[in-house]
Structures are given as C-alpha cells and as structure tokens.
Amino acid sequence: MKRRLSAPITRVVTTATLALPLAALGGCGMSSLTSGLGGGMFGGSSATSEVASVNEAQLLDAAKSGDPSATGSTFSGDVDAGCPRLVIAPHDNYITFYEVGHVGDALAVAQRGEITKTARECQVEPGRVTVKYGFSGRLLLGPKGQPGSVTLPITVAVNDGKRTKITTDSVKLDVSVGLDKPISYFSTVRTITFPIAEGSRPGEYQLVVGFDSRAPSSG
C-alpha cells in the first residue's frame, strides 16, 4: 500500500473540462464502478468495464462515448484491503433547471445536467484511507434554455458502514451550452482523506455523489 497525505481531510482543486478530444478507452484494472441514467427525458445508459487509472480526460471521453461499456473507473491497491465504494445517488443523478416560476413543468425545461460515469482509486493506511475519485457527465440544453454558462452544484458524501455521514465535499462546475452546442460534457477528479474507525474496514465505507437539488429554479 502507498502512504501519502497527512492531513485528516485533503482535497484537490476541481477542473471542469469541456473540449478535450474524444479517444478510445481501454486498458485493464482490478475492479471498476460506473453508473449512469437509463432512459429519462434525454436518455442515457450505464455499464461496467475496466481501464487503467482515474483521470479527467478518460472520464470525459467516457461521458462522450456512445459506447455503453466505456468507463473511467478502476482502483489501485490491495483488493483484499477493500476500497470505499463510489456510487451515484439514485435520486440525485440528474438535475433539471426550469424557467423561473415553472419548476416541475416539463415544457419549461431550460437545462438538464446528468452524472453518467464515476471512478475511484484508494490508498489505505492504518486508521485512514485516501480516495482519489472522479465523475463525469453532460449538460443538455432544454426547449426553454438560453445559451450561456450553468453552474452545476454537486455534493459528495462519505458514509461509514452504518451509513452515517462523516464528511462531505461540495463541488461547483461551470458548464457552457449554446444553440450550436446543445450538449456539453464535464469531468472532474478530486482527492479526499478520511479516518477509518477502529475495527472497521475501508470497504465498509461509501462515497455518494449527487446533484444538490436545492439550487434555484431546479428540481
């Protein structure tokens, strides 16, 4: 196992990437996680495959790819030691922005954001674990949407084996859409370190990523 990072909670700067070239994904890994939307107003898909590491370019390519097996997910380290799972919140995997005063009206949709791919890798040390995690997705322009930048509010919660929240990481991604580019893609990779209770295993913990639906004019 690798040893690094001494602060109890460490995060790295988020970068939203919108225009990297699409590349074929491949490689190998010991295990993987991915998640996406199945159907819905704009459609979507999910699947699982294996690649080599967690990085923004790979996650962005996975989000752009029409191949449902494309994912940016794997983890490194001792499989037996376990690794916290990274899952997309089942009810917060997308966020819809509406015209002001028309929240919930399907005919008043301005934009919709979706988280479709995830990835994580772990470094386990005595009493703590560092998780390098990432996710990617897309922003779609709705029938009432206007060109411009949209801020996507995203929260990542770390839960212990009893599903008690022990810490959170808040992310805001600015993504632009326009009439000439009605679908934009985003990706980000971050790192978080948190303590593991005595007698617990890292694999009992879970990271849950989802949109914050409390954003104005969203639902």
The Cα–Cα gap between 32 and 110 comes to 34
Digit-coded pLDDT (tens) for 86-106: 999 998 999 999 999 999 999
Q: What is the pLDDT of residue 162?
A: 92
In the chain, DSSP finds a helix count (H) and a strand count (E) of: 1, 8
Digit-coded pLDDT (tens) for 13-72: 343 443 333 232 222 222 223 333 233 334 333 332 333 478 899 899 989 886 666 655
pLDDT at 169 over 90: yes
Tokens representing 114 are: 């979706």
DSSP 64: H
- Provide, rounded to the nearest whole percent, the portion of the chain with pLDDT above 70: 68
pLDDT at 5 over 80: no
Q: What is the pLDDT of residue 208?
A: 96
DSSP 217: T
Confidence of residue 216 (pLDDT cuts 50, 70, 90): confident
Better-scored residue on pLDDT, 122 or 21: 122
Q: What is the pLDDT of residue 65?
A: 85
- Provide, rounded to the nearest whole percent, the portion of the chain with pLDDT above 90: 57
The Cα–Cα gap between 193 and 130 comes to 4
Better-scored residue on pLDDT, 153 or 213: 153
